Amino acid sequence: MAERSFKEEIAKLRLGEGETFTGEGILAITKALLENGVGYVGGYQGAPISHLMDVLADAEELLGELGVRYEANANEAAAAAMLAASVHYPIRGAVTFKGSVGVNVASDALANLASSGVTGGALVIVGEDYGEGSSIMQERTHAFAMKSQFWLLDPRPNLPCIVKAVGDGFELSEATNTPVMLMVRIRSCHVTGTFATKDNRRPTLSVRDALSAPRSDFARVVLPPMSFAHEQDKIRTRWPAAERFIRERGLNEVFGPKEAPVGIVVQGGHYNGLIRALQRLGLADIFGETQVPIYVLNVTYPLVASEFLEFCEGKGEVLVVEEGQPEFIEQMLSTHLYRAGSPVRLRGKDVFPMAGEYTGQVMLDAVGRFLREAAPKLLPAVALAPNAPGPVIPDLSKTVPIRPPGFCTGCPERPIFAAMKLVEKELGKHQISADIGCHLFASLPPFEIGGATMGYGLGPAANAAFDGGGERRPVSIIGDGGFWHNGLSSSFTNMAFNKSDGVAIVVDNYYSAATGGQDIMSSRAENPTKATKHPIAKALNGVGITWVRQVDRTYDVRRMRDVIREALTTDAKGPKVIVASSECMLNRQRREKPLRTQAIREGRRVEAPRFGVDEAVCTGDHACIRLSGCPSLSLKKLDDPLRDDPVASIDPSCVGCGNCGEVADAAVLCPSFYRADVVHNPAPWEARWAGWRARVIGWLQARRRARRLNFEGVA
Amino acid sequence: MAAGAAPGAAAELRGRGVTVQEPVTAADPRLGGIIKLAVLAVGGQGGGVLTGWIEDLARANGYAAQATSVAGVAQRTGATVYYVEMCPVTDRAPVFSLMPAAGDVDVLIAAEMMEAGRAILRGFVTPDRTTLVASTHRALAVSEKMVPGDGIASSDEVRAAAEVAARRIVMADFEAIAGANGSVISASLFGGLAASGALPFPREAFEAAIRAGGKGIEGSLRAFGAAYEAALAAPLAVEAPAVQPAIGAGPTHLRGEWERLLARVRRMPEPVAEMAGAGLRKVVDFQDLRYGAEYLDRLEAIVARDDAGRGHLLSREVAKHLANAMAYDDVIRVADLKTRDSRFRRIAGEMGAQEGRLLHLTEFMHPRAEEIVGLFPAPLGARLEGSARAMRLLGRVFARGRRLRTDRLPSFLLLHALGGLKDWRRRTLRHGREVAHREAWLALALGQQDYDLAVEVIRCRRLIKGYSDTHARGLSKFDRVLEALPLLKGRPDAAEWLRRLREAALKDEAGKALDDALRTVRSFA
| A125 in Cβ contact with A99 (< 8 Å) | no
Q: Tell me the C-alpha distance between A469 and A464, whole Å.
A: 10
Minimal CA separation from A666 to chain B, in Å? 7
Domain boundary among B233, B260, B280: B233
Residue B27 lies in a domain: yes
* pLDDT, mean of residues A325-352: 98
Residue B333 lies in a domain: no
Instruction: Give long-range contacts, CB 8 A cutoff, 24+ apart: A386-391.
Output: A390/B126, A390/B127, A390/B128, A391/B127, A391/B164, A391/B165
**Using the beta-carbon criterion (under 8 Å), do A286 and B31 form an inter-chain contact?**
yes
Minimal CA separation from A134 to chain B, in Å? 7
Query: Which of B33, B282, B408 is the closest to A693 by Cβ?
Result: B408
Minimal CA separation from B396 to chain A, in Å? 14
Q: Tell me the C-alpha distance between A241 and A172, whole Å.
A: 9
- In this structure, the strands spanning B63-69 and B79-88 are antiparallel
- In this structure, the strands spanning A503-508 and A475-479 are parallel
Question: Residue A398: CB partners within 8 Å, gap ≥ 6?
Answer: none
| A333 in Cβ contact with A320 (< 8 Å) | yes
Band (pLDDT 50/70/90 cuts) for residue B6 is: very low
Q: Is the per-residue pLDDT at B28 higher than 90?
A: no
The CATH number assigned to the domain holding B102 equals 3.40.920.10
**Using the beta-carbon criterion (under 8 Å), do A693 and B153 form an inter-chain contact?**
no
pLDDT at B354: 84
Pair B228, B113 in one domain: yes
Helices (H) and strands (E) in chain A, counts: 27, 23
Pair B229, B252 in one domain: no
| B231 in Cβ contact with B195 (< 8 Å) | yes
Minimal CA separation from A180 to chain B, in Å? 25
What string of DSSP letters covers B225-294? HHHHHHHHH--SSPPPPPPPPP--BS-HHHHHHHHHHHHHHHTS-HHHHHHHHHHHHHHHHHS-HHHHHH
Angle at A194 between CA A191 and CA A196, to 5 degrees: 140
Strand ranges inside A490-596, DSSP E:
503-508, 547-551, 576-581
| A630 in Cβ contact with A414 (< 8 Å) | yes
Pair B125, B202 in one domain: yes
Pair B305, B214 in one domain: no
Q: Tell me the C-alpha distance between B401 and A62, whole Å.
A: 56
Pair B211, B318 in one domain: no
| B295 in Cβ contact with B258 (< 8 Å) | no
Residue B152, number of CB atoms within 10 A of its CB: 20
Average pLDDT, chain A: 95
pLDDT by residue (tens digit) across A268-288?
Answer: 999 999 999 999 999 999 999
Q: How far is CA B225 from CA A497, B52, B113, B197, in A?
A: 65, 19, 21, 14
Band (pLDDT 50/70/90 cuts) for residue B24 is: very low
Pair B156, B267 in one domain: no
pLDDT by residue (tens digit) across B175-197?
Answer: 999 999 999 999 999 999 999 99
Q: Tell me the C-alpha distance between B462 and A435, whole Å.
A: 41
Q: Closest Cα to residue A138, out of A354, A308, A351?
A: A354
H or E stretch including A299? strand A299-301
**Using the beta-carbon criterion (under 8 Å), do A645 and B139 form an inter-chain contact?**
no
* pLDDT, mean of residues B49-73: 91
Minimal CA separation from A269 to chain B, in Å? 10
Band (pLDDT 50/70/90 cuts) for residue B74 is: low
* pLDDT, mean of residues A575-597: 94
Q: Tell me the C-alpha distance between B72 and A30, whole Å.
A: 19
Pair B228, B253 in one domain: no
| B129 in Cβ contact with B22 (< 8 Å) | no
Residue B229 lies in a domain: yes
Architecture field, domain A605-706:
2-Layer Sandwich (3.30)
What is the percentage of chain A residues whose pLDDT exceeds 90?
A: 90
Minimal CA separation from B262 to chain A, in Å? 13
Pair B269, B137 in one domain: no
One-letter amino acid at A628 equals S
Residue B505 lies in a domain: no
- In this structure, the strands spanning A647-650 and A633-636 are antiparallel
Q: Tell me the C-alpha distance between A103 and A148, whole Å.
A: 12
Q: Tell me the C-alpha distance between A122 and A126, whole Å.
A: 13
One-letter amino acid at A33 equals L
Query: Which of A405, A631, A705 is the closest to B74 by Cβ?
Result: A405
Q: Closest Cα to residue B98, out of A130, A712, A291?
A: A130
Pair B220, B260 in one domain: no
pLDDT at B7: 39
Band (pLDDT 50/70/90 cuts) for residue A386 is: low
pLDDT at B43: 85
Q: How far is CA A144 from CA A241, A526, A657, B456, in A?
A: 20, 38, 45, 64
Pair B224, B264 in one domain: no
| Weakest mean pLDDT among A678-682, B124-128, B347-351, B467-471 | B467-471
- With beta carbons under 8 A apart, name residues in chain A contacting B218: none
User: What is the count of residue pairs from A and B with beta carbons less than 8 Å apart?
Assistant: 407
| A412 in Cβ contact with A585 (< 8 Å) | yes
pLDDT at B32: 64
pLDDT at A384: 72
Residue B338 lies in a domain: no
Band (pLDDT 50/70/90 cuts) for residue A714 is: very low
pLDDT by residue (tens digit) across A209-246?
Answer: 999 999 999 999 999 999 999 999 999 999 999 999 99
Q: Is the per-residue pLDDT at A133 higher than 80?
A: yes
CATH classification code of A413-587: 3.40.50.970
Tell me how many domains chain B contains.
2
Per the rule left: phi > 0, alpha: psi between -120 and 50, beta: everything else, A261 is alpha
- With beta carbons under 8 A apart, name residues in chain B contacting A400: 114, 117-118, 121, 153, 158
Q: Is the per-residue pLDDT at A599 higher than 90?
A: yes
pLDDT by residue (tens digit) across A639-664?
Answer: 899 999 999 999 999 999 999 999 99
Shortest CA distance from B324: residue in chain A: A642
Question: Residue A664: CB partners within 8 Å, gap ≥ 6?
Answer: A624, A670, A671, A672, A673, B364, B366, B401
What is the percentage of chain A residues whose pLDDT exceeds 70?
A: 98
| B403 in Cβ contact with B366 (< 8 Å) | no
Which sign does the torsion angle of CA A495, A499, A502, A505 carry?
A: positive
Q: Tell me the C-alpha distance between A608 and A676, whole Å.
A: 8
* pLDDT, mean of residues A9-23: 95
What string of DSSP letters covers B332-361? HHHHHHHT-HHHHHHHHHHHT--TT-EEEE
Residue B176 lies in a domain: yes
H or E stretch including A335? helix A328-339
Minimal CA separation from B245 to chain A, in Å? 8
Pair B204, B81 in one domain: yes
Fold (topology level) of A18-196+215-248 = Rossmann fold (3.40.50)
**Using the beta-carbon criterion (under 8 Å), do A706 and B469 form an inter-chain contact?**
no
Shortest CA distance from A705: residue in chain B: B250
Query: Which of B75, B153, B409 is the closest to A399 by Cβ?
Result: B153
Total number of residues shown for chain A: 715
Domain parsing of chain A, residue ranges: 18-196+215-248, 253-384, 413-587, 605-706
Q: Is the per-residue pLDDT at B452 higher than 50?
A: yes
* pLDDT, mean of residues A358-382: 94
**Using the beta-carbon criterion (under 8 Å), do B337 and A408 form an inter-chain contact?**
no
**Using the beta-carbon criterion (under 8 Å), do A619 and B466 form an inter-chain contact?**
yes
Pair B180, B314 in one domain: no
> A130: exposed, middle or buried (C-beta count within 10 Å: 0-12, 13-18, 19+)?
buried
Q: How far is CA A385 from CA B123, B168, B264, in A?
A: 21, 27, 71
**Using the beta-carbon criterion (under 8 Å), do B164 and A392 form an inter-chain contact?**
yes
A605: Cα separation from own chain's centroid: 39
Average pLDDT, chain B: 89
Residue B467 lies in a domain: no
**Using the beta-carbon criterion (under 8 Å), do A664 and B79 form an inter-chain contact?**
no
Q: Closest Cα to residue A21, out of A149, A163, A135?
A: A163
Domains A18-196+215-248 and A413-587 share a fold: yes
pLDDT at B525: 76
Q: Report which DSSP code applies to A262.
A: E
pLDDT by residue (tens digit) across B213-227?
Answer: 888 899 999 999 999
Which sign does the torsion angle of CA B464, B466, B467, B469 carry?
A: negative
Query: Which of B42, B361, B465 is the closest to A619 by Cβ?
Result: B465
Q: Is the per-residue pLDDT at B434 higher than 80?
A: yes
Q: Tell me the C-alpha distance between B31 and A237, whole Å.
A: 47
Query: Which of A272, A284, A700 is the closest to B98 by Cβ?
Result: A272
| A525 in Cβ contact with A532 (< 8 Å) | yes
Domain boundary among B312, B327, B342: B327
Please give the residue range of the domain that contains residue B321. 243-327
H or E stretch including B135? strand B131-135
- With beta carbons under 8 A apart, name residues in chain A contacting B19: none
Band (pLDDT 50/70/90 cuts) for residue A306 is: very high
**Using the beta-carbon criterion (under 8 Å), do A639 and B160 form an inter-chain contact?**
no
**Using the beta-carbon criterion (under 8 Å), do B249 and A710 form an inter-chain contact?**
yes
What is the percentage of chain B residues whose pLDDT exceeds 70?
A: 90
Query: Which of A406, A620, A710 is the closest to B248 by Cβ?
Result: A710
Residue B220 lies in a domain: yes
**Using the beta-carbon criterion (under 8 Å), do B66 and A192 form an inter-chain contact?**
yes
Q: How far apart are the first and last CA of chain B?
A: 66
What sections of A428-476 are H helices per DSSP? none
- With beta carbons under 8 A apart, name residues in chain B contacting A132: 70, 74, 81, 99
Q: Report which DSSP code applies to A630.
A: -
**Using the beta-carbon criterion (under 8 Å), do A709 and B282 form an inter-chain contact?**
no
* pLDDT, mean of residues B139-167: 95
Architecture field, domain A253-384:
3-Layer(aba) Sandwich (3.40)
Domain boundary among B327, B355, B383: B327
